[in-house]
Structure 1
Amino acid sequence: MPTRQKEKNEGPVELSLAVAATNTIRDRILDLSLQPGAQLDETMLRNELGISRTPAREALNRLTTEGLIEMHRNRGFFVRPLDLSDLTQFFEAYLVSERSSAYYCRLAQPHLVKDLESIQDNHHRAVSNQMFLEISRYNAAFHIRIAEATENEYLIGFASRLHNMARRLAYYVYLRESGEQQAFQNRQRIIVDEHRAIIEAIRNKDRDRLLATITNHAELFRRRIGAFIEGKGKPVFMLT
Structure 2
Amino acid sequence: MSPARETTVDLAYQSLRAQLVGFRMKPGARLNESALAGDLGISRAPIREALNRLIADGLVRFEPGRGFFCRKLSTREITELYEARFDLEAGGLKAALRRAPDADIAAFARDWQQDGTSQNPDPEALIAADEAFHMALARLGGNDVRLTFLQNINDRIRFVRRINLEHETRRRSAHDEHRALAAALTSRDERAALAILAEHLERSAAEVQTQVRAALAHIYEGDIA
TM-score interval w.r.t. the shorter chain? 0.7 to 0.9
| Partner residue, 1:104 | 95
| Partner residue, 1:181 | none
Q: Deviations over 1:187-213 (max 9, x none)?
A: 101112222333334444444443222
1: CA distance, partners of 2:178 / 2:75: 28
More deviation in 13-22 or 153-162? 13-22
2: CA distance, partners of 1:118 / 1:54: 44
Does the Cα contact within 8 Å between 2:112 and 2:179 map onto a contact in 1?
no
1:141-220 pair list within 5 angstroms: 141-173=132-164, 178=166, 184-219=167-202
Q: Secondary structure at the match of 2:61?
A: strand
Distance 1:62 1:141, change over 3 A: farther
| Partner residue, 1:124 | 116
| Partner residue, 2:223 | none
Structure 2, unmatched stretches of 5+, are: 220-225
1: CA distance, partners of 2:189 / 2:2: 43
2: CA distance, partners of 1:16 / 1:145: 29
Identify the match of residue 60 of structure 1 among 51, 54, 59.
51
More deviation in 48-57 or 32-41? 48-57
Q: Deviations over 1:56-91 (max 9, x none)?
A: 344323332221221222322211102233244333
1:61-100 pair list within 5 angstroms: 61-100=52-91
1:36-51 pair list within 5 angstroms: 36-51=27-42
Q: Secondary structure at the match of 2:133?
A: helix
Does the Cα contact within 8 Å between 2:61 and 2:68 map onto a contact in 1?
yes
- Over aligned residue pairs, what C-alpha RMSD do you find? 3.7
Q: Which has the larger radius of gyration?
A: 2
1: CA distance, partners of 2:109 / 2:158: 18
Distance 1:108 1:48, change over 3 A: farther
Distance 1:236 1:151, change over 3 A: closer
The residue type paired with residue 229 of structure 1 is Q
2: CA distance, partners of 1:70 / 1:165: 14
The residue type paired with residue 107 of structure 1 is A
1: CA distance, partners of 2:58 / 2:113: 26
Does the Cα contact within 8 Å between 1:137 and 1:167 map onto a contact in 2?
no
Distance 1:18 1:214, change over 3 A: farther
2: CA distance, partners of 1:113 / 1:25: 38
Per-residue deviation, 1:129: 4.5
| Partner residue, 2:222 | none
Per-residue deviation, 1:34: 0.7
Structure 1, unmatched stretches of 5+, are: 1-8, 179-183
